[in-house]
Structure 1
Amino acid sequence: MPHISITECPRDAMQGIRHFIATEVKAAYIQLLLNVGFDRLDFGSFVSPKAVPQMKDTAEVLKQLDRSVSATQLLAIVANVRGAEEAVSYADVDVVGFPFSVSETFQLRNTNHTIAQALEIVKEIVATCHVNGKVPLIYLSMGFGNPYGDPWSPAIVADYVDRLVAMGVRDFALADTVGTSTPEGIARLYQYIGGTFPGISLGLHLHSTPAEGRDKLIAALDAGCTRFDAALRGFGGCPMADDQLTGNIATETLLQLLYERGIETGLKEEAWAEALAYSNEVF
């Protein structure tokens, strides 16, 4: 039975909340999630505080974490080379994620760059990561289509993956930024990209309404996906997208489905319950 890798996403869950969450509260919450034993933790981002005010204290949060309790990798999101250079300067950051959009409109909205410019940024981020022993992770944002009318097809997604692989990227996540994917579309695209590029690590970062999340996870599991992003209680969404903050797939939904299928996660149940209880302080 394959190991299911789970990335818990408190950064994605918190970034769209308008009131500022105290640094101490963020750090305490992320520490509790570290204790659970997820494979990765999307804990913060090194981006402009004007663009995402909630994440302006990522460096301070990082300094308050105790990494000794867990082997969980810490993932930081960046939007440009400067952010990547800051992220790799911290020994405790293991993975640097960049949202590369297959939608020109959304790439401009999200990072203020065209796709052509974003490809050049990725090239520099990958080089920076490799020199500093970090893993570059590329989110294929708007991977399942977009509301802006930009061209989209599985072949377009595959073309960008091909270019990114040539730059040295091996870690990818197909991202449904606005929750428009269907179970059938998820299975089809995942198998197409995974089959076309067997040498990559391919995960899913899905935004969904609660009612649709379970069916999407079932489709992904049946398609062979073993890497999932999720957020406790299904909070989150992208504040740069026209999606009314359609939330992440709830971690509880994923864990329940894995339990029903007899798939062990290796997560610590008591630590999970503690993090779940503390989430009331955060949200």
Structure 2
Amino acid sequence: MSQNKFKLVECPRDAMQGLHDFVPTELKSGYLNLLLQVGFDTLDFGSFVSPKAIPQMADTAEVLAKLDLSNTKTKLLAIVANLRGVEAAIKHQEINYLGFPFSISETFQQRNTNSSIAQSLSTVEEMLSLCIKNNKEAVVYLSMGFGNPYGDEWNYEIVEQWADVLVSKGVKILSLADTVGVSTPEKIENILPRLISRFTHAEIGIHLHSTPDERFEKIEAAYRSGVKRIDSALKGFGGCPMAADDLTGNIATEDVIGFLNAKGEQLNLNMDKWNEAMVLSEKIFG
């Protein structure tokens, strides 16, 4: 476990993946190397997915080769969307976590991973087995976890039911993901405590997308719900290119840090390196 009560997961992959212009490999790795020195629990650094689907992540293996892991405790997480991605990612010893977006909206699962929920469940089972054999840990995102824009059925029971299925298959880290920014403080405070109290042997996290003006109320609701694993991205960049909305980005990491500091939580972050990363981010995100 991390020495901190909170596991902060910084998500530059999510921030960059929808950018129109390709970010040079050197610049990506330079940015990630700064973030590795800040002291986050985990860095969601890249993805092994089809370069046709997400061109920005085509150089993930090259970026990985340029990362300096010699003096960081931060663990690396890569996103995969199918078995080919799983097989590519597990070859890399440096990667600790494989993340899979498991949508509880059938429409979005098809759009995002080109497979049905049923097929995705079998991918998760295969991934869990390969993770065990290769000393990796699986992180499954319950994507569209707060509702969806497609009219697919959603309620708290459906969320809980899928969480139950995944945990019973052996998933130990489950992150409730708001892919399109439809979460509200009320929804967060309704569903998170249920999952945390029911699945005591699993780590329940949250990956929120939000418009800037709603960020703080969502962070506060997650904190009140007792969540200890929070995904965010520097300056709130990014979002999901498969569910695009220019206003809805990630929760900004600096907002999470500021909120938790104000609550007196010990985060043990190197803020000098963080400020350097903030400056360098201008070159990537403009």
The structural deviation recorded for 1:256 is 0.7
| Cα RMSD after superposing both structures | 1.1
* Local SS of the residue matching 1:69: coil
Q: Which residue of 1 aligns with 2:151?
A: 149
Amino acid of the structure 2 residue aligned with 1:207 = H
Q: What do the CA deviations read for 1:62-120 (whole angstroms, capped 9, x no partner)?
A: 00001012010000000001101111100110000000000000000000000011001
Q: Which residue of 1 aligns with 2:36?
A: 34
Amino acid of the structure 2 residue aligned with 1:232 = L
Q: Which residue of 2 aligns with 1:9?
A: 11
Q: Which residue of 1 aligns with 2:258?
A: 256
The structural deviation recorded for 1:243 is 3.0
Amino acid of the structure 2 residue aligned with 1:230 = S
Q: Calculate the TM-score normalised by the size of structure 2.
A: 0.97
Question: Do structure 1's residue 236 and structure 2's residue 234 form an aligned pair?
Answer: no
Q: Work out whether residues 4 and 267 of structure 2, in 8 Å CA contact, stay in contact via their aligned partners in 1.
A: no
Kindly report which structure 2 residues correspond to 1:17-56, keeping only aligned pairs within 5 A, or say none: 17-56=19-58
* Local SS of the residue matching 2:95: coil
Q: Work out whether residues 77 and 98 of structure 1, in 8 Å CA contact, stay in contact via their aligned partners in 2.
A: yes
Equivalent residue for 1:67, pick from 45, 66, 69 = 69
Q: What do the CA deviations read for 1:28-51 (whole angstroms, capped 9, x no partner)?
A: 000000011100000000000000
Amino acid of the structure 2 residue aligned with 1:28 = G
Kindly report which structure 2 residues correspond to 1:170-185, keeping only aligned pairs within 5 A, or say none: 170-185=172-187
Q: Which residue of 2 aligns with 1:57?
A: 59
Amino acid of the structure 2 residue aligned with 1:279 = S
The structural deviation recorded for 1:244 is 3.4
Query: For residues 93 and 2 of structure 1, what CA distance do their matches in structure 2 show?
Result: 21
Residues 212 and 57 of structure 1, relative CA distance in 2, 3 Å threshold = same
* Local SS of the residue matching 2:242: coil
* Local SS of the residue matching 1:145: coil
Amino acid of the structure 1 residue aligned with 2:53 = A
* Local SS of the residue matching 2:265: coil
Query: For residues 240 and 219 of structure 1, what CA distance do their matches in structure 2 show?
Result: 26
Question: Do structure 1's residue 118 and structure 2's residue 120 form an aligned pair?
Answer: yes
Query: For residues 147 and 246 of structure 2, what CA distance do their matches in structure 1 show?
Result: 17
Amino acid of the structure 2 residue aligned with 1:57 = D
Alignment gaps of 5+ in structure 2: none
Give runs of ≥4 in structure 1 deviating > 6 Å.
none
Q: Which residue of 1 aligns with 2:111?
A: 109
Q: Work out whether residues 16 and 245 of structure 1, in 8 Å CA contact, stay in contact via their aligned partners in 2.
A: no
Q: What do the CA deviations read for 1:169-216 (whole angstroms, capped 9, x no partner)?
A: 110100000000101111111011112212110000000011000000
Q: Work out whether residues 238 and 245 of structure 1, in 8 Å CA contact, stay in contact via their aligned partners in 2.
A: no
Amino acid of the structure 1 residue aligned with 2:236 = G
Q: Which residue of 2 aligns with 1:189?
A: 191
Query: For residues 101 and 245 of structure 2, what CA distance do their matches in structure 1 show?
Result: 17
Q: Which residue of 1 aligns with 2:229?
A: 227
* Local SS of the residue matching 2:207: strand
Q: Work out whether residues 4 and 268 of structure 2, in 8 Å CA contact, stay in contact via their aligned partners in 1.
A: no
The structural deviation recorded for 1:167 is 1.5
Question: Do structure 1's residue 265 and structure 2's residue 272 form an aligned pair?
Answer: no
Question: Do structure 1's residue 100 and structure 2's residue 79 form an aligned pair?
Answer: no
Q: Work out whether residues 211 and 247 of structure 2, in 8 Å CA contact, stay in contact via their aligned partners in 1.
A: no
Q: Work out whether residues 206 and 249 of structure 1, in 8 Å CA contact, stay in contact via their aligned partners in 2.
A: yes
Query: For residues 245 and 91 of structure 1, what CA distance do their matches in structure 2 show?
Result: 37
* Local SS of the residue matching 1:68: coil
Q: Work out whether residues 76 and 97 of structure 1, in 8 Å CA contact, stay in contact via their aligned partners in 2.
A: yes
Q: Calculate the TM-score normalised by the size of structure 1.
A: 0.98
The structural deviation recorded for 1:245 is 6.0
